Every structure is written in C-alpha cells, then in structure tokens.
C-alpha cells in the first residue's frame, strides 16, 4: 500500500483495549467529557478574540459569525462523533484518517492538529496575560508593559503568558484524573460567570449600539459587510475546537463508544447557546469600536466598564464595581482549563504519531508513575511558552482557525470514504443524512477558510511544507506498518504535494503583498519565495531519486 497504507480497525480497537502501566489510564465518563469540551470551548472564543473580531471585522454582527461557525461545527461534530464511537483511541482526526484515507493523509492532518492546538494554547495564554494586567490594575498594581506584551505589541516579552503555560503543563504531567477534576471545577465557575454577565448586562444594553448591525464594508474584503461576517466566522471558528479536544481523550475514557458522541455533541450545543447570548450582550452594552486595540483581547473587562449609568459629566458609573474584579478573576482561573485542555490535545496527537513510528519513540513513552506522556508535555511546554512570549495574539488566533477548519474538512471527507470502504464496521453512533452532512461540512469549512487573511495562508503553507519534510526525512522510513524502506509506493504523490505547496507558497506570498501594498514590508513575501524555491529543488531531487535509484547505486 505504500504511503497510503491504512491502519486496520481491528488493530486500533485492540490498541484501545490495552491495559497496564504503559498505557493511558481510563478515568473519564460522559460528564467529565462534556466538562472537558465545555472547558476548552468556553474561554478561547468568548474571553479572548471576540472583541478584536467585533472591532475589526463584524461589528455587532459577530453573533451571526458565531451562528455560521456553529453550523459548520455541527456538521463536523456529527462526523467526529461517528469516528469517535468507531475508533475509540487517542489521536483525534489523525487516527481517523489513518484508518480511512491512509498514512500520508493521516500525517498531514496530524501535523495540522499539532499546529491547531499549539497556536490555540498560545492565543489563550496571551489573553490570560492581558486579563491578569487588567485585574492587577483594578487593585492598584501596575505591571511593566515591556514584560506583559510581545515586541509587536510594544513590549519585550510576555512573561505572564509564558508562566501560565509552564504551570498548566506541570499540572497536566501529573495525571489526567487530577487535571480532569480541576477542569470540572473551573468549568462550573466559567458557566456561572457567563450567566452572571448575561443576566446583569442585559438591562444595560443600548439599542443604538446595534446600529448598524452589519457595518458597511470599508472597500476591503473581510472588513465589515457580509465578507466581514464570514471572515469573523472563520476567525472565531477555533473557539469551537473543544469537541475536537474531547476526541483526543478517547483512550482515557471508560466507555468511549457510548460516551464520546455524548461528550462531543452536548458540549457543542451548550457552548453555542452561551456564545450567542454572550456576544449579543457584549456588543449591546459597549459600541464595537470600543474593543479596538490591545484591550480587544480582554473584551469582558471593556463590556463590564460600560454596565452602568451616565453621570452629569458624561462618564459611565459602573453599576457593579465589584463585578469587574470578580469576573476577571474567574476568567483568569477559567483560562487555566482552556490552556490545559489544548496542551492535552496536542500532546496526545504527538503521542499517537510517535506510537505509529512517524515521530521518534521518545515522544510516545508513558511515565510509569503518572501514566502520562511526560516527554511530549515537556516539548510543548517549551514551544508554546516561547510562542506566548513573543507572538501577537491576533496572528496566533487566525492560525488556530485555519488549522481547525482544515482538520474539520478532512474529517468530513473521511466519513464519505469510510461509508464506502468500511460499511460493515460497528458504529455506536452514525452521522445522519450522509452524504448531505459531510458535504455541507466540507463546503462550509472551505468557504470560511477562503475569507481568512492572506498572511494566515502563508503560515499554513509553510507549516505544511515543514511537515512534509519531517515525514519525508523520518516518517517514511520508520513507519511501523512498513518499516525500514527508504522509498515506498506513493512517493511521487508526496513529491507532487511538495511541489504544489511550493507553488502555493509563491501564490499566497504575492496575494499577501498585493493586499498590504507593494511598498509595504516584504518579509513574508521573501520567506515564502525562499521556501518555495528550496522545496521545489528538494522535491525535484526526490523525484529523480525515486525514478532512478539503481543508476545512483551503480555510480
């Protein structure tokens, strides 16, 4: 089968039944899974980039963006639920695609999931840092801006963002049972905060703030108007990756065939309702333009300041002066669970890829005391903390969205494949209305991807090129399904993918430069061209070696 060899369903189900000190511990039930999903969904979208999206792309129509994103997410969620009940092992979409579309596609989607979780944890940790600054300001403590913002936001390094990643990683290393209990407490607190915000803020909604509900387009694609609503949907889409994170915990679930669909679909339903209510109140109590700039990464703090009456001087006197401190403090604790679950997701995907031989075995070793993949946790603790310290939140948020949308597109496509190739495999849950649901999931996700900024596409293409390099240099030779082979059937498909991505690197680079102007900074354009030409040369060389291996040996 070569690069498209598939992992058998029997092997995956046998892996799911393994027990012992070298395996992950099964401690999660349906309530824990719903809490896990709600824990990561609530926070990533509501408490971080919501304000920035409203200020720059959608205005009050951010509620429509959440509805559009939720529809696409529902299609993908139904597809995820079928796979989670059929293949109850760690790895999420990576494992599903390995069983249905083959190793190369599995590698691509696994590498994409690593990107998705890494930048999601980065985005939320940066937002956590901003809320910490706001909370300390409320009690009279000023942290130096130089050490609470990255260089692109006028600082030097975001130290609080780095520290929270390290702390959550250390908690995660100690075991899923303890971290799940901690997450459950935090989820209860976050839901209480949202309901309190909605109930108290509802009476301070100013109908004038909703006019115009969809601000007129500025003349640029994605800046207000209908295209802005669609771009907003694409950016906030990553806020729904909670049910994706649920699927990565399948191997730590007591009864995954029954509980995984419950965890995925119930967490999605609960959070969609809360998102719409929250966004409606947020843009009702404060005009969307008030969320511009760095304050937009902490939108709740801005909204609460506008919950009050206007005095004689025209200033707003907050009706609940205690509320800002209390809610911001609750958000700080709530963000901890978001960061923890995204770190859990990425380490479990890395664990699965390493277990299959596509990454070094170092990353699939389970600590015998804590029964967790400590090495993977350590790797991502270092990587994410560095990114959190030096990368702007908006860039990380957009990268999360495009990675999530790509993963969901491939999962929806995999349902179409598996219904034809594996019709007799038992499923505790079946996606309804096939092929309508998966096709609509694919179209919705691709549509939203098209409205993301060009620089986001550049970073995705470059990341996927790096991923192909790792697979070509290591994964092909060390795959446990076909180990020890330098060249395998399907090599030319990989090489053509590398060439296509190289061309896309040039196209996206030119697209980005055209968008920002030819007199603007050309750093991204230069990087995209360097990647394109070096990878064109590399994959042309691989094509030559694949077609003429004997001539090389003789010479």
Give the contacts of 448 (CB within 8 A, at least 6 positions apart). 68, 69, 72, 230, 233, 234, 237, 401, 405
Comparing 28 with 513, the larger pLDDT belongs to: 513
pLDDT tens readout for residues 261-281: 788 778 888 888 888 999 999
Comparing 496 with 341, the larger pLDDT belongs to: 496
| pLDDT confidence of residue 22 | 52
92: left (phi over 0), alpha (psi -120 to 50) or beta: left
Q: What is the mean pLDDT of residues 368-374?
A: 75
- 354: in domain: no
Q: What is the mean pLDDT of residues 507-511?
A: 95
Query: What single DSSP character describes residue 359?
Result: S
Residue among 36, 443, 508, 105 nearest 271 (CA): 36
Most confident of 386-395, 424-433, 542-551: 386-395
- 459: in domain: no
Whether the CB-CB separation of 2 and 491 falls below 8 Å is answered with yes
- 243: in domain: yes
Comparing 37 with 510, the larger pLDDT belongs to: 510
pLDDT tens readout for residues 413-443: 989 988 888 888 877 778 889 999 999 999 9
| pLDDT confidence of residue 19 | 55
When pLDDT is cut at 50, 70 and 90, the band that residue 554 belongs to is: very low
Give the contacts of 523 (CB within 8 A, at least 6 positions apart). none
| pLDDT confidence of residue 553 | 45
CA gap 278, 211 in Å, rounded: 18
- 8: in domain: no
| pLDDT confidence of residue 157 | 94
Considering the chain, what is the average pLDDT of its residues? 83
Q: How many CB atoms lie within 10 A of CB 21?
A: 10
| pLDDT confidence of residue 245 | 65
Query: Does residue 23 register a pLDDT over 60?
Result: no
Query: Cα angle at 360 between 242 and 176, to 5 degrees?
Result: 35
- Which CATH number does the domain housing residue 99 bear? 1.20.1740.10
Q: What is the mean pLDDT of residues 240-269?
A: 72
Beta strands in 297-446 (DSSP E): 308-310, 316-318
| pLDDT confidence of residue 158 | 94
3-state secondary structure 372-396: CCHHHHHHHHHHHHHHHHHCCHHHH
Q: What is the mean pLDDT of residues 185-196?
A: 80
- 19: in domain: no
Q: What is the mean pLDDT of residues 20-38?
A: 68
Residue among 275, 206, 263 nearest 236 (CA): 275
pLDDT-wise least confident of 86-95, 389-398, 403-412: 86-95
Rounded alpha-carbon distances, angstroms, from residue 360 to 356, 470, 474, 477: 9, 11, 8, 11
Helix/strand/coil for 31: helix
- 149: in domain: no
The residue assigned the tokens 């190793």 is 103
> What torsion, rounded to 10 degrees, do the Cα atoms 165, 343, 30, 174 define?
-70
Beta bridge partners of 316: 310
pLDDT tens readout for residues 145-165: 999 988 988 889 999 999 999
| pLDDT confidence of residue 84 | 74
Most confident of 82-96, 251-265, 382-396, 503-517: 503-517
Environment class of 304 (CB within 10 Å of its CB; exposed 0-12, middle 13-18, buried 19+): buried
- 466: in domain: no
When pLDDT is cut at 50, 70 and 90, the band that residue 555 belongs to is: very low
Phi, psi of 188 (to 5 degrees): -60, -45
Q: Which domain holds residue 293?
A: 28-129+183-308+316-347+394-452
| pLDDT confidence of residue 76 | 87
Total number of domains in the chain = 1
Comparing 24 with 124, the larger pLDDT belongs to: 124
Most confident of 323-332, 477-486, 490-499: 490-499
- 255: in domain: yes
Q: What is the mean pLDDT of residues 294-314?
A: 78
């Amino acid at each position: 089968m070569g690069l498209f060899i598939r992992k058998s369903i029997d092997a995956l189900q046998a892996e799911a039944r393994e027990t012992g000190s070298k395996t992950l511990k099964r401690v999660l039930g349906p309530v824990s899974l719903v809490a896990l999903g709600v824990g990561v969904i609530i926070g990533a979208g509501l408490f971080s980039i919501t304000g920035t999206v409203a200020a720059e792309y959608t205005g009050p129509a951010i509620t429509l963006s959440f509805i559009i994103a939720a529809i696409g997410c529902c299609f993908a969620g139904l597809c995820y639920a079928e796979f989670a009940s059929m293949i109850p092992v760690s790895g999420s979409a990576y494992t599903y695609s390995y069983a249905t579309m083959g190793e190369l596609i599995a590698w691509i989607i696994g590498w994409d999931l690593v990107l998705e979780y890494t930048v999601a944890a980065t985005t939320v940790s940066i937002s956590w840092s901003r809320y910490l600054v706001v909370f300390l300001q409320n009690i009279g403590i000023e942290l130096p801006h130089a050490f609470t913002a990255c260089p692109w936001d006028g600082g030097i390094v975001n130290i609080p963002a780095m520290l929270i990643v390290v702390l959550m990683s250390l908690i995660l290393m100690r075991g899923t049972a303890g971290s799940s209990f901690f997450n459950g407490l935090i989820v209860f607190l976050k839901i209480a905060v949202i309901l309190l915000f909605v109930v108290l803020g509802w009476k301070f909604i100013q109908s004038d703030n909703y006019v115009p509900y969809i601000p007129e387009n500025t003349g640029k694609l994605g800046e207000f108007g209908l295209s802005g609503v669609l771009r907003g949907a694409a950016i906030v889409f990553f806020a729904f990756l909670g049910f994706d994170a649920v699927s990565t915990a399948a191997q730590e679930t007591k009864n995954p065939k029954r509980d995984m669909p419950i965890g995925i679909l119930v967490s999605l339903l609960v959070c969609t309702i809360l998102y719409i209510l929250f966004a409606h109140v947020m843009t009702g109590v404060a005009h969307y333009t008030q969320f511009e700039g760095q304050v937009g990464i902490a939108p709740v703090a801005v909204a609460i300041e506008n919950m009050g009456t206007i005095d004689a001087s025209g200033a707003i006197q907050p009706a609940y002066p205690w509320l800002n401190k209390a809610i911001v403090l609750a958000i700080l604790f709530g963000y901890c669970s978001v960061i923890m679950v995204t770190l859990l997701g990425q380490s479990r995907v890395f664990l699965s890829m390493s277990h299959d031989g596509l990454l070094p075995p170092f990353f699939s070793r389970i600590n015998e005391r804590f029964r967790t993949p400590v090495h993977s946790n350590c790797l991502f603790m270092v990587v994410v903390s560095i990114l959190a310290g030096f990368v702007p939140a908006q860039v990380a948020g957009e990268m999360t969205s495009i990675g999530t949308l790509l993963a969901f597109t491939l999962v929806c496509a995999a349902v179409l494949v598996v219904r034809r190739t594996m019709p007799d495999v038992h499923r505790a849950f079946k996606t309804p209305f096939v092929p309508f649901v998966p096709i609509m999931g694919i179209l919705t996700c691709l549509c939203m991807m098209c409205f993301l900024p060009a620089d986001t596409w550049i970073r995705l293409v470059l990341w996927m090129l790096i991923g192909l390099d790792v697979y070509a240099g290591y994964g092909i030779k060390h795959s446990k399904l076909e180990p020890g082979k330098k060249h395998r059937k399907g090599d030319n498909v990989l090489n053509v993918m590398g060439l296509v991505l190289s061309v896309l690197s040039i196209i996206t680079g030119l697209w980005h430069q055209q968008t920002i102007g030819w007199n603007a900074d050309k750093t991204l354009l230069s990087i995209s061209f360097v990647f394109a030409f070096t990878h064109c040369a590399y994959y042309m060389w691989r094509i030559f070696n694949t077609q003429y291996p004997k001539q090389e040996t003789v010479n």
